[in-house]
Amino acid sequence: MTGRAEVAARLRAGRTLWAAGVYDALSAKLAAQAGFEAVMSTGFGVSASHLGLPDVELYTMTENLNVVRHMVNATDVPLIADTDTGYGNAINVMRTVREFEQAGVAGMILEDQSVPKRCPAAANTIEVLPMAEGTAKIRAAIEARRDPDTLIIARTDATTEDEAIARAQAYVAAGADLVQPISRCFTDLAGLRRLRAAVGVPLSLQVLGWLEGLAPAEIEEVAGLAVFPLVGLMSATAALQENLSALAAARSTASLPRPVTGMGAFKTLIGFEEIEARQARFLLGEPGTPFFEKG
């Protein structure tokens, strides 16, 4: 699945697309190799992996865009981009949408937090914009996209069910294709069903916290997009911590606690054979490569 039109039709119809959260080009390739039909860039992961800092919108729009562009180029599966608050007001949102759309994403998630945002998975307090301002930003995003099949997913960080439903309804009226609540707002499947019924469009769900206890069929009942946002980041972190600690202590690779990928398999993953084949075709005169035959 590569075309925006196909992705949009599937998600708008509520046929659930399962995705893995990724934070760089390599993690995007690994998620696609694992069999995920789509990936989602996670701002939490981008901030952690590229800055070593928490997700409080310390990176800029262009820094995030650069990471996302590499992800898109590294894999053929559709990518949904976490574009945070759009990096400013409605006018900033319009530029953000155009830049990420041009980079080739299938859709974008825009949230209604005040700028700079705080990751709701870690922050104690969250400040959301007035509903009218949040709605205007979604309207601006819809107007800015050049392809009507570039999905605009409106995330509300409201922490009470009534407010989340009211905001989600306003964002759908403004043109949002899907809506996304934060996991700490709704506390059971019945609440998600109420939200889904109230907005009339599929939900986008980040499978975190209590949502991890739901069965896949229960998530598919309400979600068009279902993402495991942090499994990749946390898995890589655990593996690196264990192996690097052991390596620092023993100064030897003989007894690493975690297996490592072999060089051959890794070269295949990142495309060495493809590059070597292109070198043989195009780098004329290089050692081991053919020359054009003289006519």
54-71 pLDDT tens trace = 988 899 999 999 999 999
Q: Mind listing the pLDDT tens digit for each residue in 240-286?
A: 999 999 999 999 999 999 999 999 999 999 999 999 899 888 886 65
User: Taking 50 as the threshold, does the pLDDT of residue 294 lie above it?
Assistant: no
| Residue 39 near residue 22 (C-beta atoms within 8 A) | yes
Sequence-distant (6+) residues with CB within 8 A of 119 are: 43, 44, 54, 55, 56
Query: In the numeric block, which tokens belong to residue 71?
Result: 């992800």
Return the minimum-mean-pLDDT range out of 1-15, 74-88, 138-152. Answer: 1-15
Q: Where is pLDDT greater, at 45 or 116?
A: 45
Domains in the chain, please, with CATH? 4-236 (3.20.20.60)
- Tokens 């907005």 belong to 199
- Please give the pLDDT value at position 13: 87
What does the pLDDT look like over 89-104, one tens digit per residue?
A: 999 999 999 999 999 9
Across the chain, mean pLDDT equals: 92
Would you say the C-alpha torsion 214, 219, 220, 226 has a positive or negative sign?
negative
Question: Mean pLDDT throughout 184-194?
Answer: 94
Of 88-92, 126-130, 204-208, the one with minimum mean pLDDT is 126-130
Q: Is the pLDDT confidence value at 2 over 70? A: no
Whether the per-residue pLDDT at 290 is higher than 60: the answer is: no
152-180 pLDDT, tens digit each: 999 999 999 999 999 999 999 999 999 99
Q: Report the Cα 55 to chain-centroid distance in Å.
A: 14
Could you say which DSSP state residue 18 is in? Answer: E
Q: Is 28 helix (H, G, I), strand (E, B) or coil?
A: helix
User: Where residue 238 falls among pLDDT bands split at 50, 70, 90?
Assistant: very high
pLDDT band of residue 295 (cuts 50, 70, 90) is very low
Cis-peptide into 116, omega within 30 deg = yes
Q: Which of 1, 44, 32, 7 is nearest to 224 (CA)?
A: 7
Q: What is the percentage of the chain residues whose pLDDT exceeds 90?
A: 82
CA distance 175 to 154: 9
Q: Are strands 107-111 and 178-181 parallel, antiparallel or unpaired?
A: unpaired
Separation between Cα atoms, residue 137 and residue 236, nearest integer Å: 35
Using CB atoms within 10 A of its CB, is residue 80 exposed (0-12), middle (13-18) or buried (19+)? buried
pTM given for the model: 0.91
The predicted model gives 206-233 an average pLDDT of 96
pLDDT surpasses 60 at 291: no
